[in-house]
A and B are shown apart, each in its own frame.
Chain A
Amino acid sequence: MKLAPADYLILAIYFGFVLGIGWRLRKSVGSSGDFLTSGRSVPVWITSLAFLAANLGAQEVIGMSASGAKYGIMTAHFYWIGAVPAMLFVGIFMMPFYYGSRARSVPEYLKLRFDEKTRGLNAITFAVMTVFSSGISMYALGLLLQLVLGWSFTASVLLSAAIVLVYTFLGGLTSAIYNEVLQFFLIVLGFSPLAIMAVLKAGGWSGIQSRLPPVMTHSWQYMSSASQNPMGVDVFGMVAGLAFVLSFGYWCTDFLVVQRAMAADSMSAARRTPLIAAFPKMMMPFIVIVPGIAALALAKMSVGYALPLKAGGGYDYDQAFTTLMAQFYPSGMLGVGLTALMASFMSGMAGNVTAFNTVWTYDIYQSYIRKGAPDAHYLKVGRITTIVGTGLSIATAYVAQHYNNIMDILQLVFGFVNAPLFATFLLGMFWRRATGHGAFTGLLTGTGMAALTHGLTVAEYKGGWIAPLHQFPSTMAQNFYIAIFAWTSCFLVTILVSLLTTPRPPEQLQGLVYGLTNVPHDAGVKWYLKPASVAVLVIAVLLALNIWFR
C-alpha cells in the first residue's frame, strides 16, 4: 500500500483538529476535578459516543475483523449477547450507585461501599491493566503501519502517542472525550463504505453464504456442542462465560468506560449514556466483523483478492481488514481509512490514559502517598501522570510483541482481573450484608481461581503450567471457563466470609446499596426517554438481529 500526498494531507488535517480541540479546551481545566472527571458537565450525546469509542481501539477493529474471517458471524456474540445486555444492566441498575454515591472513580466506590484494602487492590490491578491494554493497542498499531505502509514501528508509535499525550495533557478528560466523539464519527464514516463495497463485491450476504461453510454465517445454529464450530465454544460457555461474566465484568465495572458515563451532567444523563451507546454498539459488527467474513469469501472467489498467508502457513487473519482497504480505497479515501484506523487507536489509548490518570491520582497518590494537599497539587500530579502513563504504555508495547492473537490475550487478562470483580459489585450493590473482608477475600480467591484454572487446563498449547488436567478445544473456550470459575468462587467466598464478619450499619450505606438508595424514577421525563423504554427498544432490535443471523 502506498500513500499519495492527498492521504498525508488528510492525516495532517485530522492531527490538526484533535490538537486544536485540546488547545481550545485547555481553559476549561481549573481544578483536578475538571482535569480528571470533566467536572460532571458533559452533554449526554457526547458521553454516549465516547462511552463507545473509548473501547473501540485499533485492536478492536483489527481483532474483530480477524475473528470475523476466522470464526464467522459467531464473533458478533461479543456484541449481541456480550456487550449490549451488559450496557443495559449498567445503565439501568448500576449507574444510580456509581453516580449517586459521588465517588470519583470505580475504586473509590469500592472504598465507600467496602473498605480501603478492597479499593487498593482494585485500583492497583486496574492501573496495571490499563497500561497493559494501552501498550497492546499501541503495539497493534505500530505493527500494522510497519506491515502495511513500511513505516518505522518506533516512529509511528511515538508520533501517535505524542499526539494523544498533548491533547490529554491540555484538556484532560474533557479533551479525551470530545476527541473520542470525533474519532467515533471518523471510524463509522471511514469504515462503512469498505464494509458495503466488500459485501457487494462478494455477491451480497447471500453470495457470502453460498461461498462459505454454513457455520460461518450462522451465530447460534452450530453452538450445541463445541466441536461443531471453529470457535470451539458451547452455548453454556458462551452465555455464562462471555456474556454474563466477561462482558458484564468489563462494561459494568471497568472504569475506562464507566468514567465516561460518570462525566455526564446529570443522573438521568449518566443512566442514559450506556443505553444510547447500545444502539451504535449493536451495529458495530456490520462495520468490523462483516468485512472480515466478506474478505474470506472474496479470497475464495477469483476476483484478484487473496488473504495474505502467515510465515508458517495458514491465513494471516489480522491482515484481512487492511488488505481490503488497500484494494477498495483509492488515494484520498485510503487516507481517510488509514486516519480512521489511527483514530481508533487514539480513542482506545486516550481512554486508557485518562482512566489511569484518575485512578492513579485519586485512588493511589491521594490515598496512600500524599493526603490532604491543596487541589492545585493534585492537578499537577494528574498532568504528570499523563506523561508517565503514556511512557509506561510505550514500554508495554514492546512487551506485547511476544503475543500474536491480541483479542485472546486481552480476554485472558480480563478473565484474571475483571471476572471476579463483577461478583463483588453485584453483591456490593444488591446485598447490604456484604462486608469489606468478604469482598477482599472473594476478589483474591477469584483471581487465584482464574490463575489456577489456567494452570490446570490446556488449549492450543496455552496454560497447563501446573498440570494439564483438561483439554479445551480453543483458548477462547478456556478463557470463558476461567471466567466462570473465577466469578463463581469470588461470589461464594464473598458470601461466606461476609456472613462470618460484622456488617456495616445501614446508615453508612446510604446511596451505596440497593434498598438504601433513592433510585430516581425520572418523574416528568417523557416516557420514551426513560431508561426502561430505551432498554425495551434496544432489546427488541437485539432479538431481531439474533434471530436474523441465527
Chain B
Amino acid sequence: MLDLRTSTGWFFSLLGVILLGLGVFSPGLRASLTAVNVNLYCGMGMLAFGVVMLLIARKRS
C-alpha cells in the first residue's frame, strides 16, 4: 500500500523548492506589512520538513 510519508515528503519538498526559488531569484516579492523575505524562510522550512519525511520513509522501508 501507498506510504503516506513518501507522498507527503515529495509534496513539501516540491513546495519548498518553489518557495526557495522565489525567495532567491525574486527577493523583491514582499507583502505590505513585513520586510522579511517570507518565501525564503518558509521555503527552507518546508523543504526541511519534506526531506525529513522522505528520510523517515526510506529508513522504515
Residues of A within 8 A of B (CB): 6, 9-10, 13-14, 17, 20-21, 24-25, 28, 46, 178, 181-182, 185, 189, 193, 197, 201, 298, 303-305, 326-334, 336
Contact = CB atoms under 8 A, between A and B. Distances in A.
A6 B7 contact: no
B55 interface: no
B11 A328 contact: no
Contacts of B30: 330
Contacts of A182: 4, 7-8, 11
Contacts of B49: 185, 189
Nearest to A27: B1
Contacts of B26: 332
Contacts of B29: 330-332
A189 B2 contact: no
Contact of A332 (B1, B8, B12, B22): B22
Given A181-B8, A185-B12, A330-B29, A10 B18 contact: yes
A332 B19 contact: yes
A328 B31 contact: yes
Interface of B: 1-2, 4, 7-8, 10-12, 14-15, 18-19, 22-23, 26, 29-34, 36, 38-39, 41-43, 45-46, 49
B31 A20 contact: no
A242 B47 CA distance: 40
A304 B31 CA distance: 12
Contact of B38 (A6, A24, A201, A333): A333
A303 B33 contact: yes
A21 B2 contact: yes
Contacts of A327: 31-33
A327 B32 CA distance: 5
Nearest to A331: B29
Contacts of A304: 32-33
17 contacts: A10-B18, A178-B4, A193-B41, A193-B45, A197-B38, A201-B34, A303-B33, A327-B31, A328-B33, A328-B34, A329-B31, A329-B38, A331-B29, A332-B19, A332-B26, A332-B39, A336-B42
B2 A25 contact: yes
A313 to B, nearest CB: 25
B2 A178 contact: yes
B27 to A, nearest CB: 10
Main secondary structure of the interface of A (DSSP, over half): helix
Contacts of A6: 18, 22
A524 to B, nearest CB: 22
B11 to A, nearest CB: 5
Given A24-B2, A189-B46, A303-B33, A330 B38 contact: yes
B19 A336 contact: yes
Contacts of A298: 33
Task: Please indicate which of the listed interface residues A9, A25, A328 has the most CB atoms of chain B within 10 Å of its own CB.
Answer: A328
Given A197-B36, A330-B38, A13 B15 contact: yes
Task: Please indicate which of the listed interface residues A298, A305, A331 has the most CB atoms of chain B within 10 Å of its own CB.
Answer: A331
B22 A189 contact: no
Nearest to B37: A330
A17 B50 CA distance: 14
A337 to B, nearest CB: 10
Contacts of A24: 2
B31 A28 contact: no
Contacts of B2: 21, 24-25, 28, 178
A332 B27 CA distance: 11
A519 B22 CA distance: 55
A433 to B, nearest CB: 44
A189 B52 CA distance: 14
Task: Please indicate which of the listed interface residues A17, A189, A329, A332 has the most CB atoms of chain B within 10 Å of its own CB.
Answer: A332
A274 B35 CA distance: 40
A334 B11 CA distance: 17
A338 B50 CA distance: 19
A97 B33 CA distance: 52
